[in-house]
């Protein structure tokens, strides 16, 4: 049973463990770097003080935290936000949790938050994620050439977005 809830302080150690795992970070757009527990506790405190700018949800399977799904950079005037997801428990990847979490946060974005556009960036080689995004109707907007430094080299990012009227329920 997969469900979403707002992240809480007790989730921070697991999130910190995932963010310090090179295998998890390999498929994300940020570069790997060691992140101390205090940094993530401060990150969580900042989030609590600026909840109007982000929605940060825990992906939970029964009672186990397995990942996060987020809307950040919420822009109420232009009705848009940036989407991101991380399934941190490796044995739970590719088992449908990401699809369910994506569906629920997109419904929240469009129905509850009245957003019109959700955007993201993804590594062009992350085909599993791209297939997930396209199944919901995300469109490729363009390539950001050599936009991030990962694994000792500059890497492109693929920009994608989804407009409310394009949203599909796979």
Per-residue pLDDT of 10-57, as tens digits, reads: 999 999 999 999 999 998 998 888 999 999 999 999 999 999 999 999
What does the pLDDT read at residue 89? Answer: 94
150 falls within a domain: no
30 falls within a domain: yes
Please check the confidence at residue 3 and state whether its pLDDT lies above 90.
yes
94 has a pLDDT exceeding 80: yes
Domain annotation covers residue 113? yes
Residue 151 covered by a domain: no
Residue 59 lies in a domain: yes
Predicted local confidence at residue 32, as pLDDT: 86
Task: With respect to residue 153, please indicate whether it lies within any of the assigned structural domains.
Answer: no
Domain residue limits at 70: 2-120
The pLDDT assigned to 48 comes to: 96
Q: What integer pLDDT is reported at residue 154 of this predicted model?
A: 96
Q: Please give the tally of structural domains in the chain.
A: 1
Task: Give the H/E segment covering residue 5.
Answer: strand 2-6
Rounded-to-integer distance, Cα 132 and Cα 106, Å: 13
Mean per-residue pLDDT of the chain: 95
In a domain, 80, yes or no: yes
Cα–Cα distances in angstroms (integers) from residue 123 to residues 9, 87, 111, 126, 147, in the given order: 30, 16, 28, 5, 10
For residue 168, the model assigns a pLDDT of 85
CATH of the domain at 21: 3.40.630.30
Strand stretches in 8-163, DSSP E: 55-61, 64-75, 80-87, 117-122, 139-150, 153-163
In a domain, 15, yes or no: yes
What confidence category does residue 138 fall into, taking pLDDT thresholds of 50, 70 and 90?
very high
């Amino acid at each position: 049973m997969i469900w979403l809830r707002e992240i809480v302080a007790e989730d921070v150690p697991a999130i910190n463990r995932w963010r310090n795992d090179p295998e998890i970070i390999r498929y994300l757009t940020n570069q790997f770097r060691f992140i101390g527990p205090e940094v993530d506790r401060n990150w969580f405190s900042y989030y609590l003080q600026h909840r109007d700018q982000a929605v940060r949800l825990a992906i939970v399977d029964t009672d186990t935290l397995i990942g996060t799904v987020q809307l950040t950079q919420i822009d109420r005037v232009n009705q848009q936000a940036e989407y991101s997801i991380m399934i941190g428990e490796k044995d739970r990847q590719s088992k449908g949790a990401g699809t369910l979490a994506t569906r629920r946060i997109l419904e929240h974005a469009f129905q509850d938050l009245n957003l019109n556009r959700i955007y993201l960036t993804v590594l062009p080689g992350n085909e599993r994620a791209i297939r997930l995004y396209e199944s919901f109707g995300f469109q490729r907007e363009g390539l950001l050439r050599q936009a991030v430094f990962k694994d000792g080299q500059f890497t492109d990012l693929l920009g994608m977005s989804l407009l409310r009227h394009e949203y599909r329920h796979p």
